Each structure stands twice: as C-alpha cells, then as structure tokens.
Structure 1
Amino acid sequence: MMPRYHSPLAQVLIMSCVCFLCPGMFNALNGLGGAGQLDTHTTNNANTALYATFCIFSIAGGGIVNVFGVRYTTALSCLTYALYTGSYVYHGNTGSDVLTIVAGGVLGIGAGILWTAQGVIMVSYPADAEKGKFISIFWVIFNLGGLIGGILPFAINFYHSGSLTSSVYVLFVILECLGAMAAMFLVPPSVVVRDDGSHATLSKSQSPGHESIEVLKLFTNKWMLLLLPMSFTSNFFYSYQFSQYNGAIFTLRTRAFNNLLYWASQIIGSYALSLLLDFPRWSRRKRGLWSVGFMAVSFNVVWACTFVVQRRYTRGGGSTDYPGGLVDFLDAPRAAGPVALYFFMGMVDSWYQNIAYWIIGALTSDAHITARYVGFYKGIQSLGAAVSWQIGARDIPFMNQLIGNWALLYE
C-alpha cells in the first residue's frame, strides 16, 4: 500500500509547514515595518532587490520546478530565507546594509522557486471540488507562521522600544533551517494519487529547452494576460501597509501586536472564503463572481477607512506627526480604531490571494501546467512588489502612496 504521505492532503500539509517556517517567519518580520528596525530604508531597498529577482525566478520557476522537482528546489530555497534573516544580525552590529540588500536579492531567487512549488502542490493536487478547502488549509497553517512568529518579537520586546534584538533574528534563522529539513519529505507530483485514484499530473517532465519555450508562451496566453492586473497588484499594498501604516504610527510592541492580528485575520478570512468558494449548491462561475464581488466591496471599505486615518499624519517612526505621537495598544481609546483597521487589512488580503489561486486552479489541474501558471502569477506579483517597495524607499508622500494603491485595485 502506498505510504500515507503520498496523498494530496499530506503533501499540502508538509508544504504548509515549510511555508509556516520560512515565508511565515519572513512575513512576521516584514509585517513589523522595517523588519523590526527603526530605519525602514534598508528593508525597503532589500525588498526591492528581493522582488526584482523574485519576479525573474518566479516566471522561470515553473520550468525549474518541472525539471528538478519540488523536493530539493524547495529545501534549497528555504535556506535563502535563513540567509536573509541572519543578515539583520550583521546589520545590527555593523550598521552596514550591503549584506542585507544582497541577501534580499538571493532570497528573491529562492522565494520565486519555493512559491512556484507551493502553488503546484496546493492548486493541482486536490480534486476540483476540494480546491477551496485545500487553499484554505494551506493559508491557515502558513499564516500561523506569521501569527506565532509575531508572538516572539512581541514577547521578547514588550519592554524594549528600539529595533529587534539579535536573539529574535537568530531564533528565526533556526526555524527557517527547520523548514529546509521539512521540505525533504515532499514527493514528486507523479507519485501523488488522489482519493479517487487519479494522479496529480498527466504530463511528463520536459527538457529545460522545452520548459523555456512553454514559459515564454505564457506571455501570449489569454488567461494569463487577463490575470495580469490582479497579479501585479496582489502584493503591491504590502509596502504601504507594513511600513507607511504599521511601521509609521505605532510603537514597536504595538507593531508586533498588530502583526498577530494581521495574520490571525488571514486565517479567519481564508476559512470563511473557502465556504463560499466550495459552496456545493452553486456553479463554479456563480461562486467565483460572488467571491470577487464581495472582495471588491470589502477592499474599498478598508481603503476608505485607511484614507481617513492617513489624513492625520504625513511622516512616521520616532518623528511621526500623528496626533499624540506613536500609538500604543495599551492606550485603548487611541489604538482601537487604527488597530482594528489593520486587522481588516489582513482579512481582505487573504481573500485577494485565495481568489487568485482559486482562479488558477480553475484553469487547470495538471501539476506541470500549474507550475508555469503559478510562476507567471508570482512573477508579475513580484514585479509589482518591487515597484512598491522602491516607492516606499524614495520618501514619496504617504498619501500619494495610499491613493496609488487604491487606484491600482480598480484595474
């Protein structure tokens, strides 16, 4: 009998744990604004380098994963997360940002490949009627990484008002190395069998040359072109939310507290949306239209509320001009509204990401084709993120950034 870990559910759970330990920890740091540093410029520049290489290696990632498989490519990719996190220890002790920016570029290579492998497993392995559920399972476990990762800096730095201590970064490096070890339990798509006896992939692995041609064809694929606006904007708002909102008007411990709420809201939002995406009484088209409509209304409400808050300040950090200075979560009357808004930012983000993956899953169930589609999606997503983080690094007025983010979501 085939070992249990060859089932789609087991493989999704393993990849969820990998992302819990690697991208989850990265999100926990990034969500603090400046990766826990008082000066956000280093992180903004590092993220620009990260998403620039992320863009290239996501688009190429489908071919890389199809040729070399998901196990070793994912394990090696996990180590790039550890390198990036560890670079902040060097930055904290020397003040030099060179290693962090270079490590950001290296992480972009690893992240592009890892997220392509993740998309293959999450989207192509389950049967059509279970795609929403499997996406939700992954998103819940993955965001537990951000949630639990957020608890660590919150607890360790509860009475500390500066940048994160080196011990926090070292602990994150250890966890990310464990993610690389977990990746070694992944198996090739060809041996994954669903409960109904069908296989996760119907096509065979091709040569690097063939994969390169197939990847280039994606730029003429009508479905990928239609997905371009959603791909470009799906991570664009992170720079503003993490640095110009959370990193600008809250104390360090409140930024960590907000981090907990942001990733917790992703878990809640993802589960709630899965009930709609897999609702058995509706057709796939009806489920998709209602989900997109609900998400669009929610996004506009959140950005309208953010606009109201943004009108109250023009600069962030220790020199913020937010009325009354930096907000601390223990000052409930001042903190309640801005903190609650950050919670809902996380929730609508989870809906945006989940719907994008669900759409890709509706286009194909073949693992090799999915690898190319997900790689294309993540590549264009990363291009948008690279632009966004560089905008943040260039001191463009916060209000202009907000309006730009809000306008892009109408595309």
Structure 2
Amino acid sequence: MSPEGKRLFNIVVLGFGFMFMFTAFQTCGNIEQTVIKSFNNTEFHGSGYTSMAIIYGVFSASNLIAPSVVTVIGPQLSMFFSGLLYSGYIAMFIYPYTWSFYTASVLVGIGAAVLWTAQGNVLAINSTDDTIGRNSGIFWALLQFSLFFGNLYIYCAWHGHVHITDKDRQTVFISLTVISLVGCFLFFLIRKPDPEPTAPSEQSQSQSESSESFSAASSPDVGLCSQALDAFGKAFKMFGTKEMLLLSLSIAYTGLELTFYSGVYGTCIGAMTRFGQDAKSLIGISGICIGVGEILGGGVFGMLNKCNRFGRNPVVLLGLITHYVAFYLIFLNIAISLLEFKFGCKIRLY
C-alpha cells in the first residue's frame, strides 16, 4: 500500500472507530434522562442533566492535561483507553447505582479530553495541506452517521412502549456497550504512516517526528516527563491568547447548544403526552433527523466555504438564520405542548 493509501486507510478506520463509539455514547446521552425516569430502583437518585454537567465540566478542565497524556502514551493507546471509559459509562446503565453513575461521569470527562486530543493528532499526522480538508470531511461524515444508526435502533426497540422496563433498558445498554467496544478495538487497526518521499535529510526528520507522534517511546532517554511538561505549557499558553479568548465565547455557546439537542430536547419529546405511545420511540426519530442535518449541514456549509468568493460572513449569516428558524420551530413545538397540557385542549396554528 502506498504512503498516501495508508494515510487514507487510517482516516477511514479512525472515522469508523468514532462512528461505533458515538453510535453508543450519543444514543446513550439522548435517552439517559428518559431511562432514568423509568427506573424501578428507588435507591437510584441520579440525574442525566447533572451527569452531563459533570462530564463537560471535567472535559473542559482536563483539556489542559490531555496533550501531556497523548505525548506520553501516544494517540493510539490514548484513544483506546479513553474509549474504554466511554464503554464503562454506557455499561453502568445495565445495573445503575448513584455512586457509579457520577464516578463514571467524571471518568468520561477525562477520557473525552484525551480522546479528542488524540483524534486531532492522528488526523494531523495522516494529512497534508492538500488532504486535510478531504480527510476532515471523511471523518466528520462517518462520525455523524453515529446519530443515524443509534437512534434508528432506539426507534425500532422502543416503538409503542409507553414505559421503559428494566429488561428494555438492559437489552439496549448491553447492545450499546458492545458497539462501543467494537469502536475501541478498531483503533488498533491504525498503522504508523509512512513519510512522504522527500530529500534524505528531510525524510529522516519527517519519519522521526511521525514515529514519535504516533507511539510513545520505550527508552527512558526520550525524556517523556520533559515532553509532557512542554505540551502542558504550550496548551496553557495558547489558552491565554487573544484568538482563543475570543473563540471561547462562541465555543461556550456551542456547548450550551450541544447540551440542548443531545440531551434536553430528546427528553422533552419523550415526555410529551400529545405523542401518546409513540413519544419514546420519537426520541430516536429526532436523533436521526439531527444526524441527517449534521451530515447535510457539514457538506453544504463546507462547499459554500470552499466556493464562496465573498468570505465567511455570508456562510455565518446563513448558519445564523438556519439556527433561528430551528429554535423557533422547537419553541412552537414545546410551548404548544405545554399549553395543551395545562389547559387540557388542542391548539391549532391554522
């Protein structure tokens, strides 16, 4: 296999690994609050919203140490062990306890920081300036298919179920745990990329850098502690730059939006009495539509950004308008359902 073919293979494997893992995890996040409300165990007092707050809070803080972890053990093992933490969080729902629920939330937050840092490392060392756009698109498309497959499974499994029994819950989460573990082990198929054919001196340097980036060195002379501290210092220094401080405002908002559509909105749909027996299964349909929107949106906005001669402002404006329309429709849907529940009558908009 040619060096470029090996790199492309690595990107595809990376995408499939994340697709399997997040087929499980995003589906878990979409349904967990609905599942928790159906628990028959009166000793469990956990909240899906509290869990998500813990996960993303720890995720944010752990990003400062994640580069050091990836530097020490390498991106491949970083993704594998982080994936195991994701699988453990999902498996916890098979026999849930409050203490294990929140402990797993903390561990997933740490694992998420390491996982996404390692993913960026693998994507970078398997791409060039000419292929980074293509490779990012391949990875993004495969990742977003996770929303389609996982939520399709939920729709089929819960169609017509008004209450989620313990057996229903265990069947779903055993399946999701297995799917997540498949994604973890796929990371071992990623191979160290070959350097591009260049001048002898450049080739030797490129190959050395690629080898050091892909896997942790086994010799004690490599100075892993020094590399880890250096990575931590660079991450902390970058956080204080003007660009990152400005971006942090947008990043903080996207975090709020992610929390809403990945956990809150699905729970709202599952609790709507107007949907009757289909309410629980419609959580899956909602997730499928979100996944389709992610794939189409990524493709459309990617093409607009590439072909647009007027800069990024028209693309951002189109995204803003789409954003407003989506949340206005969500407001109509949820607000009307609340009013119907309060007054006990049907409300028509036509």
TM-score, normalised relative to structure 2: 0.78
Q: Are 2:152 and 1:169 equivalent residues in the alignment?
A: no
Could you tell me which of 33, 45, 48 is aligned with 1:43?
Answer: 48
Match of 1:11 in 2: 10
Q: Tell me the residue number matched to 2:183.
A: 179
Q: Is the 8 A contact 1:23 1:81 kept in 2?
A: no
2:284 to 256, 268, 289: 256
Unmatched runs of 5 consecutive residues or more in structure 1 = 326-332, 335-411
Alignment check: 8 A CA contact 2:62 2:110 kept: yes
Is the contact made by 2:3 and 2:196 (CA closer than 8 Å) also made in structure 1?
Answer: no
- Is 2:304 the counterpart of 1:265? no
The reply to whether residue 226 of structure 1 matches residue 246 of structure 2 is yes
Aligned partner of 2:233 among 208, 213, 238: 213
For residue 154 of structure 1, what is the aligned residue in structure 2?
155
Does 2:98 match 1:70? no
Q: Given residue 101 of structure 2, which amino acid in structure 1 is its aligned partner?
A: T
Following the alignment from structure 2 to structure 1, what is the Cα–Cα distance between the partners of residues 51 and 26?
14
Report the equivalent of 1:298: 322
- Quote how far apart the aligned CAs of 1:195 are: 9.3
Deviation at 1:212, TM superposition (A): 1.7
- Considering only CA atoms, is the larger Rg found in Structure 1 or Structure 2? 2
1:134 corresponds to which residue? 135
Kept after mapping to 2: 8 A contact 1:314/1:320:
yes
**Is structure 2 residue 288 aligned with structure 1 residue 288?**
no
Instruction: Report if the CA contact (8 A) 1:130-1:278 is conserved.
Output: no
2:29 is equivalent to residue 30 of structure 1: yes
Shift of 1:33: 5.7
- Structure 1 pair 216–257 and aligned structure 2 pair: CA distance change class (3 A): same
3-state SS of 2:37 partner: coil
Instruction: Describe the SS at the equivalent of 1:51.
Output: helix
Distance in 1 separating the partners of 2:125 and 2:305: 16
Local SS of the residue matching 1:207? helix
Change (3 A) 1:242 1:262: same
- SS at structure 1 position matched to 2:94: helix
1:52-63 mapped onto 2 (5 Å cutoff): 52-63=57-68
Structure 1 residues 112 and 35: CA distance shift in structure 2, 3 A:
farther
What is the TM-score when the length of structure 1 is the normalising length? 0.67
Distance 2:207 2:26 in 1: 29
Instruction: For 1:257 and 1:88, locate their aligned partners in 2 and report how far apart those are by CA, in whole Å.
Output: 22
Q: Is the 8 A contact 2:64 2:232 kept in 1?
A: no
Deviates more, 1:122-131 or 1:100-109: 122-131
Q: Please say if residues 61 and 116 of structure 1, whose CA atoms lie closer than 8 Å, have aligned partners that are also in contact.
A: yes
Aligned residues: 315
Flag the 1:90–1:33 CA change in 2: closer, same or farther, 3 A: closer
1:84 is displaced (CA, Å) by: 0.5
Q: Identity across aligned pairs (percent)?
A: 17
One-letter code of the match for 1:181?
F
- Separation (CA, whole Å) in 2 of partners of 1:56 and 1:222: 19
Aligned to 1:114: 115
Distance apart, 1:304 and its partner CA: 2.8
8 A contact 2:3–2:194 mirrored in 1: no
1:395 maps to none
* 2:301 counterpart of 1:308: no
- Residue of structure 1 equivalent to 2:257: 237
Give the superposition deviation at 1:301: 2.3
